[in-house]
Amino acid sequence: MAVIGKIRKHSGFLVAIIGISILGFVIQDMSRNSNSIPPFAVVNGKDIRYEDYQTRVDELTERYQQAQGTDIPLTAEDREQIGVMAWQQLLNEIILESSYGKLGITVSIEEMNDMYYGTFISPYIRNMFTDPATGVFNSQQVVNIIQNFDQLSPEDKKTLNNIEKVVKSERQREKYLTLLYKSYYVPSEFAKAIAGKQMDSRTSEYVMLNYAGMDDPAVDESDYKKFYDKNKYMFLQQEETRTIDFVAFNVIPTAADMENIERTVEEYYEELKSKPAAEVQDFVNSVSPVRFDSIYKKRSDIYPGWDSALFSSTPGTTFAPKRMRTSYQMARLLDVQMRPDSLHAEHILIAYQGTGNNNVTRTKDEAKHLADSLLSVVRRLNSQQAFTSIASQYSDDPSVEQNGGDLGWMPEGTFIKAFNDAMLKGAAGSYTVVETPYGYHVIYVAGKTSPVKKVLAALVSVPIEASNETDKAVYAEASKFNAECKSVGMMDSLAGKYGQFKRSAPGTSIMASSLSGLQQAREIVRWAYDKQTKAGSMAPQIFSIDNDVYVVAALKEISKKGYMPLEQAKQMPAVTYAVVRDKKAELLKDKLDKYVDGAANLYSVYQKIYAEDSTSVSYDTAYQLTFNSRIYGQGSMEDNVIGSVFGLRPMTISKAIKGFNGVYLVNVLSSEKSNPEGVIYPVKMQMEQGFQQGLQQNAGSALQKLADIEDNRRFYY
């Protein structure tokens, strides 16, 4: 059934979507004391095996590549994201299924049927079975597939089972969240009070002394302790973390390396210019890591940086090398043609012995005879239905069960060359036979797009990379540094001696894979979390990252779950900044309060201060403030000041108020009351919607805190 292939293509990342959209857990690691390797994870007493996790990773990887295109390689970040998705899916399935069971949330067969072809169609099903040309949902197509489920291939059954799982899970999630939504109610009087705060306005004048106008005062232990005690919530750690210090020795080409690279580039350029066109492909493949691409490319698909040159030149033109980010590149234009952008092909594959299909026993001559016979039949019948029927009966292409021989629209050039050339030569609506390494293909040229200008070009790339000698020299330098560095405390000064600098990665979690700009650092993290590694330890080995960085690492400290110690908090730059700011605020508040004594009005206070110091004081008026305002005065975020404005009597100079950017004196000039009766309902709706949004974001974290999760992934990768 061709429609199944369409479903598989468009379903793409469905299972991944449901894994992420359900509630979005923040994973917390828990360790198990055991002498042997523990299970991959245990959630509420149920084991998650590594095999189950890897199977899920493989499924998501396949779907991701279907969605992105199999020709686009997965990056390290893609693989890491897929791993997180697989983990979240498995957690969600166990934790949420447990919650659904306790609450009696089920989805009946009648509900499932209704979501497939009834009144309340699942958005996923509607999207898959809606004709994009007409926008009409085809419920009969859904019915036909369900009724013929037993006749589907195992792969198609698996696809439909995955879709059923998504549809059912989404309905359970919808019921669960609706149940939680209904627990929230906003009384009208409460909404009226909130509306009043949103609508009542005040206008105030202010004098502000800016922190930036004074030197940093000295702070001591008591200042840090005061800030720490007052803001202790800021230092609560939900999981144990590590602070890893490291020095990275980058393997960078030397001047001698660059001379050799540039010499090689010139040699290749001269060869590329002189080679006969027939020998260019072999030359490119022999010297360039980027292999020759025989596909004719339109302007938007050409190699980055080469479109203008290649599309404005004649065949035979060779383009001088130019330096890219990580390589030198040169190009030669081989051909220019007007070719279709896409081709729509249908085919019947007749394989024979030696083409890789072990189930086929026919000889090559027998295959050719059968292909020619089928070509005569399909030409005579000239019917889409007949072609599909014959393909289903005779084709050796395994995908025929899903697509009936219809390969759909594909970019020109992506078919195997002989097949692609046959499609180009044949007119739309014609039939032909062509041989490829897979056998003989009876082809129906179902359609072609209008021709566009395309070019065939050869690209030679010469990587800009260090030589083996340079690599060995950098490794030797890193090794020498590692031997000299006896403690974490030595890293900073010793790094300067080597012309390097020490980097730090505080708050590194157990499943982190990168460190402060250093990608693919998983091995360093694993070492830091090894139970044999103690705080203050230097790593005995040199870590090689991406083959171009050598890293010397040290475990500076271990931060246990719970409140961060004061000594550790003091090392955070943001904490020091806040403590200094608070100290400035205390000094400036005392200063402002003295100026207020005996002042007739706020402007006279400003004049007194301005006469002594005109650089750090400002006077202005903030108009039409509401309690919900966030910006005060000259574009500053000043929640404390705005709150104070609404707690003051009009025409009364306030006490000094500590703000984010400075210390303020304010005076309320006017106050306007509103009539909130007409907006009570919108405010209620706004508050309820805000609750619903917060619920979707935070319910998962709440459920996780209630769950018993033993996360042992670190033992496996």
Helices assigned H by DSSP within 118-209: 123-128, 139-147, 154-181, 188-199
Whether 684 is in a domain gets the answer no
Same domain, 79 and 39: yes
Query: Under DSSP, is residue 100 helix (H, G, I), strand (E, B) or coil?
Result: helix
Whether 683 is in a domain gets the answer no
Whether 110 is in a domain gets the answer yes
Contacts of 262 (CB under 8 A, 6+ apart): 328
**Structure tokens belonging to residue 608:** 């007194």
Same domain, 541 and 636: no
Instruction: Indicate the pTM of the whole model.
Output: 0.63
pLDDT at 271 (0 to 100): 96
Same domain, 579 and 537: no
Whether 693 is in a domain gets the answer no
pLDDT at 567 (0 to 100): 87
**Structure tokens belonging to residue 238:** 């939900």
CATH code of the domain in which 419 resides: 3.10.50.40
Same domain, 158 and 14: yes
Q: How many residues does the chain have?
A: 717
Query: Under DSSP, is residue 323 helix (H, G, I), strand (E, B) or coil?
Result: strand
Contacts of 181 (CB under 8 A, 6+ apart): 688, 691, 692, 695
pLDDT at 506 (0 to 100): 87
Give the residue from 440, 463, 486 where a domain finishes. 463
pLDDT at 181 (0 to 100): 87
Q: Which domain holds residue 261?
A: 255-340+458-463
Same domain, 117 and 247: no
Same domain, 587 and 654: yes
Give the residue from 416, 449, 482 where a domain finishes. 449
DSSP string computed for 263-322: HHHHHHHHHHHHS-GGGHHHHHHHH-SS----S-B-GGGSPTT-HHHHTTS-TT-EEEEE
| R_g (Cα) of the chain, nearest Å | 35
In this structure, how many other beta carbons lie within 10 angstroms of the beta carbon of residue 437?
9
Tell me how far apart the alpha carbons of residues 556 and 564 are, in angstroms, rounded to a whole number: 15
**What's the structural domain count of the chain?**
5
Give the residue from 420, 449, 478 where a domain finishes. 449
CATH code of the domain in which 637 resides: 3.10.50
**Structure tokens belonging to residue 565:** 């110690």
Same domain, 473 and 527: yes
Query: Under DSSP, is residue 597 helix (H, G, I), strand (E, B) or coil?
Result: coil
pLDDT at 328 (0 to 100): 96
How many Cα atoms occupy the beta-carbon half-sphere of 441 within 13 Å? 25
Whether 702 is in a domain gets the answer no
pLDDT at 582 (0 to 100): 94
Whether 681 is in a domain gets the answer no
Whether 423 is in a domain gets the answer yes
The single-letter code of the amino acid at 147 is: Q
Same domain, 41 and 123: yes
Same domain, 40 and 154: yes
Tell me how far apart the alpha carbons of residues 656 and 640 are, in angstroms, rounded to a whole number: 11
Tell me how far apart the alpha carbons of residues 551 and 500 are, in angstroms, rounded to a whole number: 11
Whether 677 is in a domain gets the answer no
CA of 54: how far to CAs of 45, 82, 117, 214, 523, in Å? 20, 11, 34, 59, 20
Contacts of 161 (CB under 8 A, 6+ apart): none
Report mean pLDDT in 10-residue bins for the chain, 717 residues: 45 41 31 60 89 88 72 72 85 84 89 88 85 80 81 76 85 88 88 87 94 91 94 89 95 96 97 95 95 91 87 95 93 96 95 89 95 95 92 91 88 91 94 96 95 95 96 96 94 94 91 86 93 94 91 94 89 91 93 84 92 87 90 85 92 92 94 87 88 80 83 81
Same domain, 507 and 362: no
Same domain, 171 and 29: yes
Tell me how far apart the alpha carbons of residues 181 and 357 are, in angstroms, rounded to a whole number: 57
Same domain, 376 and 411: yes
